[in-house]
Chain A
Amino acid sequence: MLTLLLILLPLAAGIITLLSGAQLAKKVALVSGLAVLALAVYVWLQFDPSSGTQFSYRYNWLMNGSILFAGGMDGISLVLVLLTTFLTPLIILSAFNHEYKNSSTFYALILFMESALVGVFTATDAFLFYLFFEAALIPVYFLAAVWGGEHRLKVTLKFFIYTIFGSLFMFVALVYLYFQTPGEHSSAISALYALDLSPQAQGFIFWAFFIAFAIKMPLFPFHTWQPDTYTESPTPATMLLSGIMLKMGVYGLIRLLLPIVPLGMDEWGLLAMVLSVIGIIYGSIIAIQQSDMKRLIAYSSFAHVGLMAAGVFSVSANGLQGALIQMLAHGINVVGLFFIIDIIYLRTKTRYLDQLGGISQSSPKLSIMFMILLLGSVALPLTNGFVGEFLLLSSVFQYDNWIGAVAGLTIILGSVYMLRLFQKAMFGPKSKWAEDFYDLTLNEKAVLLPLVIMVFWIGIFPNTFLKITEPAVNQLLTLVK
C-alpha cells in the first residue's frame, strides 16, 4: 500500500500544483516534494532487506486479472525510489532561480514525472512497467519542448520519437512473452522469469529489450538524441533526464533483460559489453573537446552510463551492486553539476569555457561545492563515485581483462575532462563575463548542501545502500544462473 501511496501522492500534489496560482505553485510543489521524500524515508526505515518484495499493492486491471495493476519494492526498487524522491525536491528548489512562465504547469509536470518514475521502479507487472515507462516520457517531453532553448522543437521531437521507437520494441517483446506464459496467461514479471524459452527466441527478445533500454540510457550507438536534448532542455528537465530517467534504462536491464533472457545474454552479452565500453571511451573523448559546459556534462553522463551497463552485462554480484550504487552516485553528481552550470550561466550569460575564467576569486563557496561534486564524478576515494566505479571495474576485469583495461581508461579520461572544465571555468584571469559574479545564495546552498553530504555519505558508508540491495541482487543472480 505504501508503494501505491508513493505513486499517488506526487500525482495528487501535481494536480494541486496545477490548480494553484503562479505564486503559490513553487511552494506547493516544494512542500509536496519534501512530503514524498519524508514518506520514502519512512518506507526505508520500515524496509527489511531480507524479506523480498514488500509494501505491495495489487489490483485486477485487464483480461480478467491476468494483467495486474501491481507493484512493490525490493532492495533494488527501494534505492531507486529513494534517489527519485531525494532528487525531486532538490530539482524543484533549483528551479526557483528562474522565473518560468506558467510556472504552475512547470512544477506540476515535475511532480507528474516523479509519480511515473516511482511507478516504473516499483511495478511488478510487465505491462504496468511499460505503461509507466512511457508515461514518464510525456511530462519531460513537455518540460523540454515548452521551456527549452532555441532549437527545442526539432530536438525534443527527435528525442520523443527515438525513445518511443525503442520502447515499442520492448512492447512487442512483452506481448510475445505474455502469450508464452502458461494457462490463463500472466504478465507478472515473476511469471516472465519462470518462462522456459528457446535460445533463438531469447536472442530476439534480448535485442528488443536492449534497443529499448539502450536508447533510454543511452548506449553507443543510440545516443545521438542525448547531447542535443540535454543542452536544449531547461536545466530542471535536464536534471530529471540525466539524474533519474536514464536510470530507468539501467533498471530495465537489471529487472527485465538479465533474468528473462539469460541465454540471449550468453549469446549476445559480449557484443553488448563491447558497445558499452565503446560508449565510455567515445563519450569521454568527445567530452574532452567540448566547450559548452552543459554538453560536456551530457557526454560525461553518456560515458558513465556506459560503465554502468558494462557492469550489468558482466552478470556478477559486483557488477550489479556497482551499477546500483553508481546510479545513486551519478544521479547526485550530475544533478549537482548541472545546477552549478546553471548558476554560472545565470550570472555570466554564457556556458562556453573559452569565455569563462577566474570565477573562484569571487565565489569560494561555489568553488568548493563544485570541486566536491566534480571529485565525486571522477571517482576519488571517499567520494560516492569511487565505490561504484571500483565495483564496476572489478566486475568488468573479472569478465575479461582486456575489456577491463579499456574500460579502466574512464578514470583517466574522466579526470582529464572534469579537471579541464574546472580549471577553465574557475581559475585563470577573470573573464569579462564573470565580472559581477557573486557567491551562492541561500536557495542555492540549500540545493547543493544535501548533494554534497550525500557525496560523502555514499563515499564513506556505502554499506548503508549496498546492504539494502544485496539480498535482491543475489536473488536476481540465482534466477539468471
Chain B
Amino acid sequence: MYPIILLSVLGVVTLFLGFSKSKNVLLPSTLMFLIIALIGNFLEWNQGPLLYFYDMLRVDNLSLAFNGIVLASAFMIVAISGGFQNDADSEPAEYYALMLLSLVGAIMMIGFQHMIMLFIGVEILSIAMYVLTGSNKRNLRSNEAALKYLLMGAFATGFMLFGITLIYGATGSFNLTQIQAYVTTANVAAPSYLLYAGLLLLLIGMLFKVSAAPFHFWTPDVYEGAPTIFTAYMSTIVKTAGFAALYRLLDHTFAGAYSYWWIVLAIVAVLTLIVGNIGAAGQSSFKRMMAYSGISHAGYLLIAVTAISQPSQSAIVFYSIAYSLATICAFAVLLLVSREKANNQQLGEDYDAFNGLAKKNPLLAFVMTVSMLSLAGIPLTAGFWGKFMIFSSAADRGIIWITIIAILMSTVGIYYYFRVILASYLKEGDLTEIRVAPIFKAVMVFATVLTILFGLVPGIFEGLI
C-alpha cells in the first residue's frame, strides 16, 4: 500500500520538478523516488495478507514480489532513459511523472481485491501508456501507434467492464472473496451462464492487455511506433502487471470453475505461441521482432496460468523476472545502436543495424547475446529455468500436449533470436565505438549478471513467496 501513496505524491512532485528544466535534477530524483517506493514496498514483506481501503486492495508476499519486479524494471528503464532529454521540445518532467503515476495503476492491478480496483488500475496504466506511446510528437508512426493503441484499448476496456457487470449481476458483488464463495457453491449446484459469459468477457479484456492472440493485432504496430524506451516499458511492466492480475483473478476466485476456463486459456496460449513465434521469424526489424517475441512470451506465461497451481505461481514470478531483465537489456542495446545509427542518418532498428557490433563494442554485443540466449531459453541463463518451471507446472497438471507445442515453438524462437547474435559477431558492419553513459553501463551489467546468476543458481528465490 505504501508504494501507491508514495508514487502518487512523488509523481506530482516530479511534475513540479519540471520547472527546474535541469538535466541533473529530474533523472536522479526520479530514480530516488523509485528507490523510496521499492523500500516502502518491502516494508510490508511477511506481514501476512493485509487488506486496505475497505477490502479493495490485498497485500501479500506474491503481490509484493510482483510490485518489486515492476518497480525494479521501472528503475532500470528510467535509468537508461537519459536520451529523451536531448530532444529540444520534449517534456521530460511529464514523461517521468506519467511513468511514476502509471506504476500506481500497475500496483493496483497486481493487488486488486475488488473489481473496481482492477478496472481503475488498468485504466491508470493504459491512459498513461497511450500518452507515452505518442510522445514522439513529430513522428507519424508514433502518433499512429498512440491512436491505434487508444482505440483498440478502449474497446478492450469496454469488454472488460461489460464482463465485470455480468459477474456482478450473477454474484451480487465486486469483491473477490464473495465472488469466490459464489463460484464454489454455484459450481456444485447449477452453473450460472451469466457468470461464465462475464468471465469470458473479462478475460478478453485482460488478454488484450497482455497481447495474447487473437487480441494481439495492435502489438507490433504500437511497439514499433512507440519510442524505444516506452516500448521497453510496455513490454515489461504492462505485461508483468497484466499477468499478475490474471493470475490473481483465476487462482483463487475462479478456481472452482477451472474446468470451464482452462480450455479457453489453453487454446489462447497455443495460438499466442504460434502467432508470436512464427510472426517473429518473418521480421526484418529487430524492434518488430521484439514485439512478436513479447507476444510469444505471453504465450509461455499463459501456459503457467492455464496450469494454475502453487508451482505455477513461482514459475510466473521467475519467468517475469527473467523476461524483464532480458528485455530491458535488449532494448537498452537497441536504444544505443539506433541512436548511433540515427546520428549517421541510417536506419537503426533492423537486424542489419547490429552488424559488426562486437568488433567495436564488445560489452554491448555480450549483453545482447546473453539477453537473447535467455529469451531463447538456452541453459545457463535465467530464461531456461523460467521455461523449465513453466513446463514443469504444466506437466504437473498433466497438460503435456501444450508443452510439446511450446517446445516446437521455442525452437523457432532460437532462429530469430540468434540472428541478432550472428549479426553482431559474424557479420561485417561500419559501427563505430558507441559512447555509453556509466549509469547505462551499470544497468546493463547488473541485468546481465543477474540473468547469468539466475541461470546458475535458480534456487535463490525458492521458498520466499
Q: Which of A80-137 contact B (CB under 8 A)?
A: 130-131, 134-135
Complex CA gap A171/B410 in Å reads 13
With an 8 A cutoff between CB atoms, is B411 at the interface? Answer: yes
Q: Are A63 and B391 in contact (CB under 8 A)?
A: no
**Does A61 reach chain B (CB closer than 8 Å)?**
yes
- Nearest opposing residue in chain B for A138, CB measure: B378
Contact check: which of A134, A157, A172 meets B379 at CB < 8 Å?
Answer: A134
B436 contacts chain A at the CB level, 8 A cutoff: no
Question: In the complex, what residues of A have CB within 8 A of residue B426's CB?
Answer: 145-146, 152-153
In the complex, what residues of A have CB within 8 A of residue B408's CB? Answer: 165
Give A474 to B411 CA distance when docked, in angstroms.
38
Interchain CB contact under 8 A, A146 and B403: no
Provide the bound-state CA to CA distance between A176 and B394, in Å. Answer: 10
Whether B459 sits at the interface, judged by CB under 8 Å, is yes
Complex CA gap A297/B315 in Å reads 46
Is A169 part of the binding interface, using a Cβ–Cβ cutoff of 8 Å?
A: yes
A354→B190 CA distance, assembly (Å):
82
- Inter-subunit contact A157/B415 (CB<8 Å): yes
Chain B's closest residue to A154 (CB) is B422
**Once bound together, how far apart are the Cα atoms of A63 and B385, in whole Å?**
12
Nearest chain A CB to B421's CB is how many angstroms away?
9
State whether the Cβ of A268 lies closer than 8 Å to any Cβ in chain B.
Answer: no
Q: Does A164 contact B (CB under 8 A)?
A: yes
Within the assembled complex, what's the spacing in Å between the Cα atoms of A135 and B395? Answer: 24
Q: How far is the CB of A105 from chain B (nearest CB, A)?
A: 10
**A233, chain B: closest CB distance, angstroms:** 14
What is the predominant secondary structure among interface residues of chain A facing chain B? helix
Judge if B462 is at the interface, Cβ distance under 8 Å.
yes
Determine whether A178 belongs to the interface, using a CB cutoff of 8 Å to chain B.
yes
Closest to A177 in B: B395
Q: Size of chain B's interface in residues, with CB distance under 8 A?
A: 27
Interface contact A175-B462, CB-CB below 8 Å: no
In B144-198, which residues have CB < 8 Å from any A CB? none
Interface string of A159-192 (1 = CB under 8 A from B): 0110011001101100110110000000000000
- Is B463 in contact with A161, judged by CB distance below 8 angstroms? no
Q: A62: CB under 8 A from chain B?
A: yes
B395's contact among A60, A64, A179, by CB below 8 Å, is which?
A179
Q: A172-B400, A175-B395 are in contact. Are A160 and B425 (CB under 8 A)?
A: no
Q: Contacting A146 at CB < 8 Å: which of B415, B418, B425? A: B425
Specify which chain B residues have a CB less than 8 angstroms from the CB of A130 in the assembled complex. Answer: 379
A168 touches B410 (CB 8 A): yes
Residue B434 lies at the interface, judged by CB distance under 8 Å to chain A: no
- For A179, what are the chain B residues with a Cβ–Cβ distance below 8 Å? 392, 395-396
Chain B's closest residue to A61 (CB) is B459
Evaluate whether A131 and B379 lie within 8 angstroms (CB atoms) in the complex, with A64-B463, A175-B391, A175-B395 already known.
yes
Q: List 12 A-B contacts (CB under 8 A).
A: A61-B457, A62-B385, A62-B458, A131-B379, A146-B425, A160-B418, A171-B391, A171-B407, A172-B407, A175-B395, A176-B395, A179-B395
Beyond contacts A175-B388, A179-B396: 17 other A-B pairs, Cβ-Cβ < 8 A, are A62-B458, A62-B462, A63-B459, A131-B379, A135-B379, A135-B380, A145-B422, A153-B426, A157-B422, A160-B418, A161-B414, A171-B388, A172-B391, A175-B395, A175-B403, A176-B400, A179-B392
